[in-house]
């Protein structure tokens, strides 16, 4: 039986970025913030220069951070205006609470009302930012995946997704700066005017393709002494065979994308990036047995067999829902797909 394993991908080195604070309204005063923080916690008398309040425990000692999402992650909502929420984060990077401050989403203003949105926000309580949180219903047998699913709101998919991304972006920015000492800065953007003649072999020579291989024997060894030891007959028959043969290519720079993709897929990717300028596309190819997603995978959702992290914090991945045809020289066996992450979330 093929065993599912959670893969934590070490992506090619990138410029580590936080979120630049964009134009935003004045933040809440202490009275308003304190009213939204549940006992036994309280907040410091003044916020820091970055607008982040120190969370205090019942003894007055620092216990975490309290912050608004809009100043840190002013992602426009479906209405065009950001959704502003207050996040309470403890020192173990666990979300204690998320409270709504202001939203102008049509579906929650004159449609469904705010009640389902408030119920959605309650789901974040108790979850760590180190978990892979995604919005949506689990599909198939999701027991082998590492995803934490948050129930969305029917008829409000876009608004809920924007709220989720705002919470993640702001929380990850605070975690990087406060817990890891990585200062916030504008997200890195590939230079669209840079062009370089490359092909697949050139990508390999330049180290622009990352490859990870894991043999059947290595996986078997990882399960030695557990209840799953010897549970894979195929591995026993072919111990040197590839359980995982994973190739990764960051397709953000056009020269790299052109070298990795066939012309039709390259053109489709450029059209996609034109309407999603903050997305960073990542090509993943697996020619081993593990595969990229399960048989029940639903397009345009988070992959259930892959996960990524950067500096110990999760990187949100989602299928870009693009048809992938590879350039000459690229691996022909196995499966390939293009995943997307959002540079505004710190990638």
Residue 7 pLDDT? 34
Same domain assignment for residues 174 and 193? no
| 171 close to 131: Cβ distance less than 8 angstroms | no
User: Cis link prior to 40 (omega < 30° from 0)?
Assistant: yes
Whole-model pTM? 0.72
Tens digits of residue pLDDT in 76-113: 988 889 999 999 999 999 999 999 999 999 989 988 98
Same domain assignment for residues 156 and 52? yes
Residue 235 pLDDT? 86
Determine phi and psi for 333, rounding to 5 degrees: -90, 165
Same domain assignment for residues 175 and 194? no
Domain-ending residue, one of 157, 179, 201: 179
Residue 22 domain-assigned (yes or no)? no
Give the residue from 165, 79, 81, 83 showing the smallest Cα distance to 117: 83
Residue 333 pLDDT? 86
DSSP assignment letter at 243: E
Residue 55 pLDDT? 97
| Residue-number span of the structural domain to which 140 is assigned | 30-179
Separation CA 111–CA 106 (nearest Å): 7
Determine phi and psi for 93, rounding to 5 degrees: 65, 30
Residue 41 domain-assigned (yes or no)? yes
Same domain assignment for residues 254 and 311? yes
* CB atoms closer than 10 angstroms to residue 186: 12
Contacts by 40-47, CB closer than 8 A, 24 or more apart: 41/88, 41/96
In the chain, the number of structural domains is 2
The mean pLDDT values, 10 residues at a time, for the chain of 347 residues are 36 33 64 96 94 96 97 90 96 96 91 92 95 80 68 87 93 88 59 81 95 94 89 89 95 95 97 92 94 86 84 85 95 93 79
Same domain assignment for residues 205 and 167? no
């Amino acid at each position: 039986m093929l065993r599912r394993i959670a893969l934590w991908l070490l992506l090619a080195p990138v410029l580590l970025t936080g979120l630049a604070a964009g134009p935003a309204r004045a933040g809440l005063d202490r009275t308003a913030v304190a009213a939204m923080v549940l006992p036994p916690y309280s907040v410091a008398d003044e916020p820091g220069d970055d607008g982040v309040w120190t969370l205090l425990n019942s003894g007055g000692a620092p216990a975490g951070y309290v912050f608004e999402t809009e100043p840190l992650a002013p992602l426009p909502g479906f209405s065009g205006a950001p959704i502003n929420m207050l996040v309470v984060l403890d020192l173990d990077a666990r979300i204690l609470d998320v409270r709504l401050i202001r939203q102008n989403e049509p579906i929650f203003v004159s449609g469904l009302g705010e009640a389902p949105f408030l119920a959605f926000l309650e789901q974040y309580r108790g979850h760590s930012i180190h978990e892979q949180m995604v919005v949506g219903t689990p599909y198939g047998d999701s027991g082998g995946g590492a995803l934490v699913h948050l129930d969305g709101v029917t008829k409000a998919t876009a608004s809920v997704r924007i709220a989720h991304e705002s919470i993640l972006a702001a929380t990850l920015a605070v975690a990087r700066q406060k817990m890891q000492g990585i200062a916030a800065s504008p997200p890195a953007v590939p230079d669209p005017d840079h062009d370089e003649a490359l092909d697949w072999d050139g990508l390999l020579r330049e180290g622009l393709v990352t490859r990870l291989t894991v043999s059947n024997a290595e996986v078997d060894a990882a399960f030695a002494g557990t209840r799953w030891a010897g549970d894979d007959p195929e591995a026993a028959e072919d111990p040197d065979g590839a359980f995982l043969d994973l190739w990764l290519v960051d397709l953000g720079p056009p020269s790299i994308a052109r070298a990795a993709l066939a012309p039709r897929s390259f053109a489709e990717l450029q059209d996609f990036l034109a309407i999603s300028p903050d997305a960073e596309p990542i090509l993943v190819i697996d020619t081993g047995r593990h595969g990229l997603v399960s048989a029940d995978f639903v397009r345009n959702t988070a992959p259930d067999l892959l996960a990524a992290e950067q500096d110990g914090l999760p990187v949100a991945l989602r299928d870009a829902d693009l048809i992938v045809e590879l350039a000459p020289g690229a691996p022909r066996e196995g499966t390939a797909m293009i995943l997307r992450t959002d540079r505004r979330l710190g990638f």
